[in-house]
Amino acid sequence: MSNDSSDRILAELRTWIRDAPTGAQLPSSRALVREHAASPVTVQKALRRLVAEGLVESRPGVGSFVRAVRPSRGADFGWQTAALRTPRARLTALAGPLREAPAGAIALHAGYPGPDLLPERLVRTALVRAARSAAATGRAPAAGLPELRAWFATELADATPSHLAAVTAADVVVAPGSQSALSSIFRALVAPGRPLLVESPTYWGAIQAAQQAGVEVVPVPAGPDGPDPDDLDRAFRETGARAFYAQPSFANPTGVQWSTARAEEVLAVVRHHGAFLVDDDWAHDFGIDSDPRPVAALDDAGHVVYLRTLTKSVSPAVRVAAVIARGPARERILGDRAAESMYVSGLLQQAALEVVSDPGWRSHLRRLRVQLRERRALLLDAVRSVPGVSVDVVPPGGLHLWARLPDGTDVDRLARDCAARGVWVSGGDEWFPAEPSGAFLRLTFTGPEPAGYPEAARVIGDALAADPGSART
């Protein structure tokens, strides 16, 4: 029998159960076979489904009975609303980029490279080696494995001009991924209820981390060259903020990279106000036409707190990042990390160290740059074929395109309509800490099946054409 027969039997039995008293016995399997002209296998499949849903309990040799407790109505969790008080604004159960697309969908919404863009052989080998080392059973230091901290410090020191004091391993704190690191940074640098300046638009995870830390997020508009130093100076003066979060290299979602001159101007404003710049170098390994430019390399006075992650470029299973800071700021961040999770898995730290220390790592990054350039071109050509859609900045690195939609487009509706047609996109509203400055989509060019980009663009175009609010130009 087909699945339709099983579904029909299920629907009728659910209706029967809804109106039946507790403990009522269901018709026998034999009776159901006769009534629905179905096979015994189909009937048993339907009954097993009802048991799994908690509607029915089966008593071997006796029959099936309506359960005394009917979970299908759902438990009453209303008491939690009062216990939790007012929820934090904009926090959702699961952000759009983290939602899992169904099999067969064209996924342009996620923030991680597909498996074919990761150093799979290096990662597997590194995990085996790490499992055979002392890291498999030992407790890692709270600040991280000394050798891994030294690797992170050396990478930044190599980018630091010779007239500035370079960072050392003693300035590094290893964290379990950049999201946890951001939470610790914001808690350490900004008191609850105090303002944190952020670029707008900016990384949605940073907005959520700031809100969870209880700080007030204040947007600073960022254009194709980054934030305007005058706007930043005015925001510091008007709010009294003491920290500014930014992504100077290949910003998520816009793809913008600051020039060295802009970085120096922003750093001068931060220094003038005796403040911190949180330099989130999330896409360090994803340069395409340009190399990353850490602003932290221009500072030796402790104004820049630098965040560098390996999770996206090594493997999402190896959640390892580093925070590089100096002075009391570093000690506060370390204290917060220790209070939250004590230490990062030594096994994962050792595996990450094995990968980035292998000669094959540099070869992988060279190949990756070519792959990213090809995929960016494929998606860019596809998106630019959609009437009314534009990409103002061709990102010199990173993983995403920031596509502007016609004014008046209902972005949430568009994302839903595209998903219904098998194309998953990220609506741009999540990347704004306040009201969006326009209608946007963030589209990832590192997901699986790049051959599907033209089809995805066609679906986006059809969904736009059906949107009554979008103004055509």
Distances (CA, A) of 203 to 2, 8, 209, 414, 465: 47, 46, 10, 21, 29
- pLDDT of amino acid 471: 53
- pLDDT of amino acid 1: 44
Residue that wins the pLDDT comparison between 96 and 288: 288
Distances (CA, A) of 467 to 146, 442, 454, 458, 472: 55, 18, 20, 14, 11
Give the mean model confidence (pLDDT) for residues 105-112: 77
In sequence order, which residues have a C-beta less than 8 Å from that of residue 263 and are 6 or more positions away?
248, 293, 295, 298
Count Cβ atoms within 10 A of the Cβ of residue 166 and give its class: 0-12 exposed, 13-18 middle, 19 or more buried.
middle
Give the mean model confidence (pLDDT) for residues 79-107: 59
- pLDDT of amino acid 54: 73
How far apart are alpha carbons 234 and 332 in whole angstroms? 28
- pLDDT of amino acid 233: 95
Lowest mean pLDDT among 22-31, 286-295, 381-390: 22-31
Lowest mean pLDDT among 10-24, 101-115, 277-291, 457-471: 101-115
- pLDDT of amino acid 101: 62
How far apart are alpha carbons 218 and 207 in whole angstroms? 10
Nearest residue to 470 via CA among 381, 399, 409: 409
CATH 3.90.1150.10, domain 96-111+361-465, yes or no:
yes
Torsion of CA 182, 183, 187, 188, to 10 degrees: -40
- Residue 302, by phi and psi: left (phi above 0), alpha (psi -120 to 50) or beta? left
* pLDDT 10s digits, 294-327: 999 999 889 999 999 999 999 999 999 999 999 9
Q: Which two tokens stand for residue 320?
A: 């390892």
* pLDDT 10s digits, 380-394: 999 999 999 999 999
* pLDDT 10s digits, 333-369: 999 898 888 888 888 999 999 999 999 999 999 999 9
CB–CB of 235/197 below 8 Å? Answer: yes
* pLDDT 10s digits, 229-256: 999 999 999 999 999 999 999 999 999 9
Residue that wins the pLDDT comparison between 263 and 472: 263
C-alpha dihedral sign at 42, 43, 44, 49:
positive
Residue 403 — very low, low, confident or very high, per pLDDT cuts 50/70/90? very high
Residue 82 — very low, low, confident or very high, per pLDDT cuts 50/70/90? low
The phi, psi pair for 170, rounded to 5°, reads: -70, -15
* pLDDT 10s digits, 208-235: 999 989 999 999 999 999 999 999 999 9
State percent of the chain over pLDDT 70.
Answer: 90
Q: pTM for the complete prediction? A: 0.79
How far apart are alpha carbons 392 and 253 in whole angstroms? 12
Give the mean model confidence (pLDDT) for residues 429-442: 90
Residue 442 — very low, low, confident or very high, per pLDDT cuts 50/70/90? very high
SS3 409: coil
- pLDDT of amino acid 362: 96
CATH of 3-73, one of 3.40.50.2300, 1.10.10.10, 1.10.730.10, 1.10.287.70: 1.10.10.10
Give the mean model confidence (pLDDT) for residues 269-295: 95
Q: Is the peptide bond before 253 cis (omega within 30 degrees of 0)?
A: yes
CB–CB of 26/10 below 8 Å? Answer: no
Q: Where are the domains of the chain?
A: 3-73, 96-111+361-465, 120-357
pLDDT of 85 > 60? The answer is: no
Q: Hey, what amino acid is at 52?
A: A
CATH of 120-357, one of 3.40.50.300, 3.30.499.10, 3.40.640.10, 1.10.10.10: 3.40.640.10
SS3 214: coil
Give the mean model confidence (pLDDT) for residues 18-41: 87
User: What is the chain's mean pLDDT, rounded?
Assistant: 88
- pLDDT of amino acid 46: 86
Nearest residue to 286 via CA among 307, 259, 260, 313: 313
Give the mean model confidence (pLDDT) for residues 190-196: 93
The phi, psi pair for 218, rounded to 5°, reads: -120, 115
* pLDDT 10s digits, 54-78: 788 888 778 888 876 544 444 555 5
- pLDDT of amino acid 47: 86
How far apart are alpha carbons 372 and 377 in whole angstroms? 9
- Hey, how many other C-beta atoms are within 10 angstroms of the C-beta on 123? 18
CB–CB of 265/129 below 8 Å? Answer: no
Give the mean model confidence (pLDDT) for residues 20-38: 88
How far apart are alpha carbons 171 and 182 in whole angstroms? 17
Beta bridge partners of 276: 243
SS3 292: coil
Q: Is-same-fold flag (3-73; 120-357)?
A: no
Give the mean model confidence (pLDDT) for residues 412-425: 90
pLDDT of 411 > 80? The answer is: yes
Q: How would DSSP label each residue in 121-167?
A: HHHHHHHHHHHTSGGGTSPPPTT--HHHHHHHHHHHHHTS-TTSPPP
